[in-house]
A and B are shown apart, each in its own frame.
Chain A
């Protein structure tokens, strides 16, 4: 059974720092991997989508990498800002599956001014 783990569970950094969030998955036969952001009491906002054939995706200050063979993905946030404070969720879709997302429990990020 596919399991997705996110480390750390919580992270607090000063404004301006570069940071890395980690995601690992047990079954490397994934269709794609998606990173989401969730603000308290809100829905999920898609940040980056990486297809299984891709190594990384970039959007603004965000860069996500994917290493299928080792079952790992990282989300790199450059020059963090207080507005980046949120919970970040990693999710994978298994190859050949019905397309259901399997989520990690998230990393709660706090960026202090």
Chain B
């Protein structure tokens, strides 16, 4: 079955530590996205990528970094510069606008990050 796999499901970070969240898709989608979800705030875009080796900042990119070395993979690193990283992180993928009539997003199951 095609889909998006996020790992780990739960992650604990110590103060000053960098952690990396994994996102892999086998849908052959060109575009991939990272969102952060906080209670009462909705989903906010961190980074997105439409092509390998290229990515763009979203609304809340500070304290985060990404890479896109393969079409299937879009890992997110939460750096020590992110002062409030405790949140639910969601990865998504899609075809590009104009590539087809069924342009829509597919989401992974999420990673819950907690600072300890």
Contacts and interface: CB of A to CB of B under 8 A. Distances in A.
B109 interface: yes
Interface residues of A, number: 24
Nearest to A45: B107
B104 A32 contact: yes
Contacts of B97: 31, 93, 97, 99
A99 B92 CA distance: 12
Size band of the interface chain B makes with A: 20 to 34
A98 B56 contact: yes
Nearest to A9: B40
B40 A105 contact: yes
9 contacts: A32-B104, A41-B88, A46-B107, A89-B43, A93-B103, A98-B48, A99-B50, A100-B45, A103-B42
Interface of A: 31-32, 34, 36, 41-46, 49, 51, 89, 91, 93, 97-101, 103-106
